[in-house]
Amino acid sequence: MEYRNKMVLAPMVRAGTLPFRLLAAEYGADITYGEEIIDHKFVNCQRVINESLGTTDFVERGTDSVVFRTCPQERDKVVFQIGTSDAVRALKAAEIVCNDVAAIDINMGCPKAFSVSGGMGSALLSKPELIHDILTTLRRNLNTPVTCKIRLLNTRQDTVELARRIEKCGVPALAVHGRKVKDRPRDPAKWDEIADVVSALSIPVIANGNVFEYEDFKRIKDATGATSVMAARGALWNASIFSAKGKVPWEDFKTEYVRKTILWDNDIKSTKTTLREIIMHYICLEGTEGKGVIKCGSSADVARLYGEEDYYNFVVSNRK
């Protein structure tokens, strides 16, 4: 995995599943992160080859629930992100999937209660010894690259000090979200504080925060000195943000996304979450389309809502 001069799709809960990752890659994303997967759940998964779809599925034992789905087309781009608070458990989870992905990443930035309450995500930022234990354990035992994604700490000095400690663990790159735990998405990202990290490290830094247009990739690189840039909400609302040709109309992007979810038999909860985010950004969730998405209970329902019944029937009838 090469981390320099890359445009990166950020990890996004429920949105970053296979259809969205592949669509982002088609538009120009060089690296695509999957959504955070909690190690407790993943260690109970088994690897299954899905011949009907041509995918590799990681299915929760005793159920038919697909926790993570990937395919050969994204093998050299996809990053599997783990939510963890334990080095041994993180390694066990990583060993299950490491041969099917390009890299493993440890989430050290999520501020959501479900993550922090388990000692994961941004809770790790105050535990440098545990960070060292997790990263070095994975690096010693895996041939797959291991990285992590952090947020800014309370002071510039604290952020730089932690970044230096992470670099000493031997990771090939570090992603930095330019907001602090207490910040909200509407708060502007602090690109100047990302620049402090870039100046202090020799490894590639992936800058994240306030990337909403293709031109923002260059703007944040110029402002921070970061070698690579990660987009989250800007990509969620229209993944063609990665295209040098310019963004396609959001309705066209939405149609492509719906078709991809049908083709790859995406989890309906993931599909609905992503569509709701797109609709809320551009129009209103309380309108006819938004209410229609909320009512959908299956991919067939989504296909009917968006006039893709013929495509749905063609795809389903041609599965092995």
Residue in the block written with tokens 């797109």: 278
Q: How far apart are CA 13 and CA 17, in angstroms?
A: 9
Task: Sheet containing 55-60: give its strands across.
Answer: 45-50, 55-60, 66-70
| DSSP per-residue string spanning 223-252 | HH--SEEEESHHHHH-GGGG-TT-PPPHHH
| Catalytic position from the list 71, 110, 148, 296 | 110
| DSSP per-residue string spanning 202-213 | SS-EEEES---S
Q: How far apart are CA 241 and CA 34, in angstroms?
A: 18
Active site (annotated) includes residue 110: yes
With contact defined as beta carbons under 8 Å apart, do 257 and 274 qualify?
yes
171 C-beta neighbours (distance < 10 Å), count: 21
Q: How far apart are CA 161 and CA 141, in angstroms?
A: 26
The H or E element that residue 133 is part of is helix 128-141
Which residues are known catalytic residues? 110
